[in-house]
Structure 1
């Protein structure tokens, strides 16, 4: 659905929720009912008319825009070709990761050795790839769903496994605010998704805190990278020790040497 169609659909829904018919809206706008019907049917109305309708509905254009944005389809994944394009250019990958972490345009160019024209060019590419929607003044809106994920064996994850994971885990995790934890156990299959949802909320909280702390002076901030993962997995050295489920468990007597 196009942005214009979405706007018309939302306006119709708002009119219905407010109990307003085309006839009553026409009276408020001092127009003929036929003109209002035609305006909605064709989806053609100037911004000044939309403002008038917002006044009648006791809302504003910003709220309508938010609702339109919420109706736009969000990507859950990219194609393998699109992922390959992202990792082919380190500066494009940098801008993609920063955008997904809610960094502003100004933050990116202030933190990294990437010029304003270079950053704009990468934002344009990310717009074409469907990762974000570029807006005036170098602002953007992410077009990725909360369930977005890179292909498990696609170009991006291959890049991270080959070049990022080792670098990340090479540290001691003993600095200020650092932690490394590995928890192993068995849980019901139905609960795994609940834990994933909780972990997604932790990631969202981290991203929101990043936004909230932007007004802090530089000396009060420190750059952190949060990695969250959960999979059905057993360390290779442990797998070699795993008992065959069909083999009998030795009795206490046999473990004690038959005594």
Structure 2
């Protein structure tokens, strides 16, 4: 299997990821030297969203290239590393519902 394979949309591997692997992946506290979690919430235009998606694609390509560049190293010198890059139009419903519902009161 290629290290940079692409999942079939709604295929068995993607379903397995959504059902089981996703929860295990995010069970980490992301506090060790080999981990990093960055969560940003911003408002973007469609144009900026698409620009950022292109930048994510470029970063994914660089990540894949690093793996290829190090493919000659002994297996003990490398560790499995998974990066998840995502962007979507989204508001956390529990947080933002009170702001969008004129009948709710903010206390």
Count of equivalent residues: 101
Larger Rg: 1
Aligned residue in 1 for 2:20? 163
* Residue 193 of structure 1 pairs with residue 50 of structure 2: yes
Alignment gaps of 5+ in structure 1: 1-94, 103-147, 248-259
Between structures 1 and 2, the one with greater helix share: 1
Selected match of 2:95 from 235, 238, 244: 238
Give the drift of 1:235. Answer: 1.6
Structural mapping, 1:209-248, within 5 Å? 209-244=66-101
Normalized against structure 1, the TM-score is what? 0.35
CA offsets per residue over residues 212-236 of structure 1, 9 Å max, x none? 0122334432221011111111123
Structural mapping, 1:4-83, within 5 Å? none
What SS does structure 1 have at the residue aligned with 2:38?
Answer: coil
Q: Greater RCO between the two (CA within 8 Å, min separation 6)?
A: 2
Aligned residue in 2 for 1:180? 37
Distance 1:217 1:175 in 2: 23
Please identify runs of 4+ aligned residues in structure 1 that moved more than 3 A.
Answer: 217-220
Aligned residue in 1 for 2:105? none
Give the drift of 1:238. Answer: 1.3
Structural mapping, 1:117-128, within 5 Å? none
Give the drift of 1:192. Answer: 0.9
Aligned residue in 2 for 1:101? 4
TM-aligned CA distance change 1:158 to 1:215, over 3 Å: closer
CA offsets per residue over residues 147-193 of structure 1, 9 Å max, x none? x7642xx2343322111110110111122221011100101111111
